Structure 1
Amino acid sequence: MRKTMVAAHTGCGKSPANTLASFLEGIQSGADIVEVDALVCKGGTVVLMHDDVSLLRQNTYEELNQPAVRRQLGAAYEEYELAALHQVLQASAPLGTKLNIDLKSSESVEPVIRLIWQYGAEKRAFITGWYSAAIPQRHPDIQVMINTSIQLADVQLEGNREYAKRLCQDARRSGYTGLNMRYDTCYPEIVSEAHAAGLAVWAYTVDERQAMEKLIHMGVDAITTRKPELLFAVVEELTGSPDMGA
Structure 2
Amino acid sequence: MMLRSFTALFFVVSMSMGTCSAQLIVAHRGASNDAPENTLASFELAFERGADAIEGDFYLTADGEIACIHDKTTKRVAPDQPELVVADSTLDQLRLLDVGRWKDAKYVGQRIPTLAEVLATVPSGKRIFVEIKSGPEIVPTLKTQLASCDLQTDQIVIIAFSEAVVKACRQSMPQYQCNWLTSFKRTDAPASWKPEQKDVIASLTRTEATGLGAHGNEEVIEREFVERVHAAGYEFHVWTINDLDAARRFVRLGVDSITTDRPGVIRKSLTSTGSVDA
State the TM-score, normalized to the length of structure 2. 0.73
- Write out aligned runs for 1:27-106 (5 A): 27-53=47-73, 54-66=84-96, 70=97, 75=102, 79-92=109-122, 94-106=123-135
Residue equivalent to 1:126: 157
The alignment status of 1:143 with 2:199, answered yes or no, reads no
SS in 1 for 2:58: strand
- 1:188, distance to aligned residue in structure 2 (A): 1.1
Deviations 1:156-178 (A, max 9, x none): 47xxxxx5466336524642111
Aligned partners of 1:46 and 1:170: how far apart in 2? 27
Residue equivalent to 1:160: none
Aligned partners of 1:110 and 1:71: how far apart in 2? 29
- Write out aligned runs for 1:133-172 (5 A): 133-135=166-168, 136-151=170-185, 156=192, 164=197, 167-168=200-201, 170-172=203-205
- 1:142, distance to aligned residue in structure 2 (A): 2.6
Residue equivalent to 2:76: none
Deviations 1:92-123 (A, max 9, x none): 1x423211111111143432232222225432
The number of residue pairs the alignment matches comes to: 234
State the TM-score, normalized to the length of structure 1. 0.82
The alignment status of 1:22 with 2:56, answered yes or no, reads no
- Contact preservation (8 Å) 1:168, 1:190: no
Letter in 1 for 2:253: M
Residue of structure 1 aligned with 2:146, choices 116, 122, 130: 116
- 1:23, distance to aligned residue in structure 2 (A): 1.0
- Contact preservation (8 Å) 1:140, 1:175: no
Aligned partners of 1:52 and 1:235: how far apart in 2? 34
Structure 1 unaligned regions, length at least 5: 158-162
Deviations 1:188-221 (A, max 9, x none): 1121112222211110001111211211110101
Letter in 2 for 1:151: K
- Contact preservation (8 Å) 2:100, 2:109: no
More helix by share: 1
> Residue 153 and residue 229 in structure 1: after superposition, are their counterparts in 2 closer, same or farther (change >3 A)?
farther
Aligned partners of 1:60 and 1:206: how far apart in 2? 34
- 1:51, distance to aligned residue in structure 2 (A): 1.2
- Contact preservation (8 Å) 2:36, 2:99: no
SS in 2 for 1:180: strand
Structure 1 vs Structure 2 CA RMSD: 2.8
Residue equivalent to 1:213: 248
Percent identity (aligned): 25
